[in-house]
Amino acid sequence: MNTKLQLLVRRAKLKFARVLFLKSFYRTTVIFKDKFGDDITIPEFEVVQWIESGLKLHKEGDNCKFCHGKLDFSDVKSKIAQYKENKRHKATEKLKKFREQLLSLLESIKSIEKESKTYSTNIGKEIDKHFTAIFTKKNTIEAFITSCQSKIDNIEIQEYFDFELLEKTLIDIEKSITAISITKNEQLLELRKKHNNLTTLVKGAIGLEILQSVTIKDKLKEVKEKEVELKEKRENNKKKQQEIQDLKQEKSLTKDFADFVSQILNEINISLKVTLDTDNRNYIIKSTNENATLTIKDISEGEKNLLALLFFYYELFADNKQQRIKPEIELIIVDDPISSMDDSNKFYILELMKNLLELPNQQVFVMTHSWEDFCNLTFGKKAWEDKTDKNGIETKSKYATFEIRKSNGKSEIVKAKNIEKPYKYLFKEIYNFSQKHEGQATTECEIYHYPNVIRRVFEEWYSFKIGEELNLTSAQLGRLVNDFKITDDKTKTELGVLLKVCNILSHSINGSKNPQEIHQASKCLMKLIESTDPLHYNKMKQ
């Protein structure tokens, strides 16, 4: 009985295609009364539509794609617009839409006719009269469609159309549909009540049997105990699964880093690799040549710095492909990463730093003591170039460059806009230093800094000028005197001081440094370059 009721309820829920009033037919009344005799020269509606569709395939200046003749695109487009605005054309368009509405109404009635037997079977014969009332309207609607089509075919003649009968027909159909819907809902509500009552009776009988049965009580108790046991096991299993997942994740992270570092070391020809111990928890450094395990004391300072920087770089990213920065990282600061590396590793580290600077939506600071590294890092990156478009919207530059300078014993940060090449930057440093008076104070920083800069400028200039490498020792004095054709003893003496500063003071960390000799060496170098290569001298000092 319960199953039968559910089946009846399900069938009674069949969707019913309702018919809406076609309220727009009032606007069509006047069209049937009009003859449109003055517009007989206007092309047929379908012809206008065909021409308009064909014109969409063309553009100004095209030949006709159908006959390949000359096409006056603007003239055709203008005439189509005139035709579409024509009274006769608009009337035909409205009639076609009206006919489509009548056809849709007829299809709805046919659909209702197909569902009538299902409704009669499940709801009752009392609704048959309402279905019959709807079906009798089918011939009337067909007659309306025929009349509408006749007017479309002969729009220049008057056509009688009984709009009052159409309105009455629509109202009668709507009333019949409403009556069927009300009866259906009443029957459905009654079936649901019966179903709910039966469900309550069955549940009550089952509940009473359970309360009075000792066997069922014992089984229920056993089931509850099993449920508690099962819950505990599920919780324990969940904890174990989490532990397994944590271990897998930890192993994955450590192994990914070991593989990452080993691949990089191999690419830059360093005979080291990083592996994991037997517990997969600790890293081991090994020699790739002998597969021997090494300690941190067995590798160079440059290799230590490289490993530390690679670990820092790897830990920035949330994925093992180094594409997504960890979301908790808001700011990245790297202090002098390149100058602390061996020369063979500098190029690779430079590329890593460039990758960091290219990260989107990330604030990155990279600091360096080397002007050469600074130039390499900023190469191709336009700083301080804010732009404003024609709409007044300002776009900030992606990069900013700064330089820390000493002024009167104090450090200050200034914008570095015009970044000079390393050689010119160092040349200007020595030139400015050489222009000081001997009595002016020389800071301790300058005492240690300038000898090395003097040596670098001298070596690069000599190598370019003469085309040979120069080992700046006192033994080279004769070679320099001969190269630059120096004859007077004073210049020879000054050149000897220059060699001393370049050879001893630029490499020595301990021991005293003579500020006067350093200043004399700078003046000697500038004097030598000016007398030998005045064009170079004047360009570099600017």
Percent of the chain with pLDDT over 90: 7
CB 188 within 8 A of CB 5: no
DSSP 455: H
- 111-142 pLDDT, tens digit per residue, is 888 888 887 787 778 888 888 888 888 888 88
What's the pLDDT band for 1 if we cut at 50, 70, 90?
A: very low
Q: Please name the residues in contact with 428: beta carbons below 8 A apart, sequence gap of 6 or more.
A: 420, 540, 541
Q: What share of the chain is helix, strand, coil (3-state, %, to 5)?
A: 65, 10, 30
pLDDT score of 263: 85
CB 395 within 8 A of CB 388: yes
Q: List, as one string, the DSSP characters of 269-296.
A: T-SEEEEE-TTSSSEEEEETTT--EE-G
Q: What is the mean pLDDT of the chain?
A: 78
CB 332 within 8 A of CB 364: yes
For the beta carbon of residue 524, count every other beta carbon within 10 angstroms.
22
pLDDT score of 530: 93
CA 285, CA 295: separation in Å to the nearest integer? 7
Phi, psi (rounded to 5 degrees) for 437: -80, 150
What's the pLDDT band for 452 if we cut at 50, 70, 90?
A: confident
pLDDT score of 465: 86
CB 80 within 8 A of CB 48: yes
| Mean of pLDDT values over 300-327 | 84
What's the pLDDT band for 4 if we cut at 50, 70, 90?
A: very low
Among 2-11, 261-270, 329-338, the minimum mean pLDDT is found in 2-11
Q: 3-class DSSP state for residue 332? A: strand
CB 25 within 8 A of CB 98: yes
Burial 404-424 (b: 16+ CB within 10 A, else e): eeeeeeeeeeeebeebeebbe
Q: Please name the residues in contact with 373: beta carbons below 8 A apart, sequence gap of 6 or more.
A: 338, 339, 346, 350
| Mean of pLDDT values over 81-85 | 63
Phi, psi (rounded to 5 degrees) for 325: -70, 145
Structure tokens given for 352: 């890593």
Helix 2-12 with 163-212: angle, nearest 10 deg? 160
Structure tokens given for 129: 């009269």
- 35-59 pLDDT, tens digit per residue, is 555 554 556 666 666 777 777 777 7
Structure tokens given for 322: 């180094």
| Mean of pLDDT values over 2-26 | 39
Looking at the chain, the number of H-run helices and the number of E-run strands are 18, 9
- 352-366 pLDDT, tens digit per residue, is 888 888 888 888 998
CB 60 within 8 A of CB 77: no
| Mean of pLDDT values over 488-497 | 90
Q: Is the pLDDT of residue 144 over 70?
A: yes
Global confidence as pTM: 0.42
CB 159 within 8 A of CB 54: no
Give CA 459 to chain center in angstroms.
49
Among 209-218, 295-304, 530-539, the minimum mean pLDDT is found in 209-218
pLDDT score of 19: 39
Among 82-86, 246-250, 501-505, the minimum mean pLDDT is found in 246-250
